[in-house]
Chain A
């Protein structure tokens, strides 16, 4: 059932077995996994089923360090959360990410890759990405001959499965139909009700229109993202003058993103026809597959380098520039066609699509007549990286002195990727240069921006850390189950509990962890 929280009805305290705060991919997955168990599940969403600018501004905050992050933009505050603007790239973390301690200190994952894998498998249907296959040689018709540098000791080709869905529109109907789930829209948590023993009784909420409510539950799960999870707990600790979950002074600390930018160019000795790395072939189940380069795990361990992945992007000055314009035009026409059929997609805007199609009409015509060479060989590739960021205590969420429209303290985020992160990228790219030289493939030219502030890197809009999972309370904020250290019934879910980020786009790991938490909560409820 979906409930408009702005309604004055149901003003009495609401009782649930499990209360989930945040209806992004993590919260939605958790609710659906728990459904059908005879439980009453409350799912609280700050926004609506669609974008609302006033609600979105509740995400605003102050950022110091790297100014690429805008807290009001990198997350979305409506049903489906950040999947409403995500890239859809799904891949599990690597085995080494779970096995090694973070570079530069702090503790690593207290659970193993083998323990996580079954949850990764179960996450796949949620993303509608087909089978859980990540061996490049098992994808579609791909053979060893299709891989670039298959014999290089330092490199490996890795696979990302492309999801084209958003959690909000995909699961809205399922949430509405579920008799054991109440999805409360427009409902912002303004406080945690926790007793002196660390046991949470419930939460207080308020809508922007002023409707206040109380929710009670046997178990509460905060699934609001790495910034908001920390912000809620910090706000509670500040109000209650306590340090719940903060024995190791790690609450809010260890914030991580995946800094991204160009690492360099690969100048090819001989022009290359289209390769799987930029032609996006489908798997046998139809899922679009992205092939990337990453370092072998042996080299990562031996050299102590950050995990990293590289997109190989054709970057030819001689490549026909009309290809991009034609692609935009075709995309616009497809959008208009879907709109006419009544299925426009969430982000479709007719005016924009119409303008795109008209502007590129001449190029579209040329492409339709086969006058644009799409099969042209490539002589230069951009190596675009997304790199693991070493967890650092100083990268953290704190509370600022400023307040939002609900009177809550805004988050203050300090995000500052380190010189060690940069040096790792340079070393990795140099190793790739060595490998391509040894293979006679070409030469690598490093990018010219590594001396610039934060090396001209950008955010990947990934938020991790801040409530780290740990085996001991002094090393983190939550235990191996995601339960807040010092509490029996308050859990945290999502990217905030990840002690390291690896190279992988994090949403799949977050959803896999959510399924794992659901199993744990089912066991606890049964007991």
Chain B
């Protein structure tokens, strides 16, 4: 899995940070990209979120088995909050964004038992597509 940390855009942003000052530039860096990326690229960016999922392989396997990959993909596309997260270039901001969504799932009771883990729906979708 690769995170495109050193792409041209980030280098540019890094330069802006150096030149223009930390606070304002950081805010710019962590703003969602207005252009939506293709699905593969979106998922690639979301891999950073796997570090926050307790047992992504087990959860992902169980959820794929229960729902089927195409259904999970459709769920992902129907969950704007997840695809929005992929627009973040800053991994920390991306993970914070997803944590908020996952927390919101738990609060709303959108909970799944996947291979005995009690997890949020968003975690299942991410694990199923990424792990």
Segment touching A, from B10-18, B34-42, B63-71, B106-114: B106-114
CA distance A139 to B109 in the complex (A): 33
Chain A residue at minimum C-beta to C-beta distance from B119: A443
Determine whether the beta carbon of B113 is less than 8 Å from that of A430. Answer: yes
Chain B residues lying within 8 Å of A438, measured Cβ to Cβ, are 103, 106-107
Contact of A437 among B55, B102, B116 (CB under 8 A): B102
Determine whether the beta carbon of A448 is less than 8 Å from that of B116. Answer: yes
Determine whether the beta carbon of B54 is less than 8 Å from that of A437. Answer: no
- Given that A267-B54, A443-B54 are known contacts, is A437 also in contact with B117, CB under 8 Å in the complex? no
CA distance A433 to B99 in the complex (A): 16
Q: Is the contact region of chain B dominated by helix, strand, or loop, or is it mixed?
A: mixed
Chain A residues lying within 8 Å of B105, measured Cβ to Cβ, are 437
Determine whether the beta carbon of B109 is less than 8 Å from that of A437. Answer: no
Contact of B117 among A434, A440, A444 (CB under 8 A): A444
Number of A-B contacts (CB under 8 A): 49
Determine whether the beta carbon of B102 is less than 8 Å from that of A445. Answer: no
Determine whether the beta carbon of A430 is less than 8 Å from that of B111. Answer: yes
Chain B residues lying within 8 Å of A443, measured Cβ to Cβ, are 54, 117-119
Q: Could you mark each residue 87-131 of chain B with 1 if its beta carbon is under 8 Å from any beta carbon of chain A, else 0?
A: 000000000000100110111010101001111100000000000
Contact of A434 among B54, B99, B109, B116 (CB under 8 A): B109
CA distance A434 to B117 in the complex (A): 11
Q: Could you mark each residue 416-439 of chain A with 1 if its beta carbon is under 8 Å from any beta carbon of chain B, else 0?
A: 000000000000011011110110
Chain B residue at minimum C-beta to C-beta distance from A447: B116
**Does any Cβ of B come within 8 Å of A323's Cβ?**
no
Chain A residues lying within 8 Å of B103, measured Cβ to Cβ, are 437-438, 440
CA distance A447 to B102 in the complex (A): 23
CA distance A447 to B115 in the complex (A): 10
CA distance A437 to B117 in the complex (A): 11
Interface size class on chain B is 10 to 19
CA distance A448 to B58 in the complex (A): 14
Chain B residues lying within 8 Å of A445, measured Cβ to Cβ, are 54-55, 116-118
CA distance A434 to B107 in the complex (A): 7
Chain B residues lying within 8 Å of A267, measured Cβ to Cβ, are 54
CA distance A448 to B117 in the complex (A): 10
Chain A residues lying within 8 Å of B111, measured Cβ to Cβ, are 430, 433-434, 437
- Given that A267-B54, A446-B113 are known contacts, is A433 also in contact with B118, CB under 8 Å in the complex? yes
Q: How far is the CB of A443 from chain B (nearest CB, A)?
A: 4
Chain A residue at minimum C-beta to C-beta distance from B102: A437
Most buried by B among A430, A432, A443, A447: A443
Contact of B106 among A264, A437, A446, A447 (CB under 8 A): A437
CA distance A435 to B119 in the complex (A): 11
Q: How far is the CB of B58 from chain A (nearest CB, A)?
A: 9
Chain A residue at minimum C-beta to C-beta distance from B113: A430
CA distance A182 to B102 in the complex (A): 67
Other A-B contacts than A433-B119, A437-B105, A445-B55, 5 sampled, CB-CB below 8 A, are A430-B113, A434-B106, A434-B111, A440-B99, A447-B116
Q: Would you mind naming 13 contact pairs between A and B with Cβ atoms under 8 Å apart?
A: A429-B118, A433-B111, A433-B117, A433-B118, A434-B109, A435-B106, A437-B102, A437-B105, A437-B106, A437-B111, A438-B103, A440-B99, A444-B118
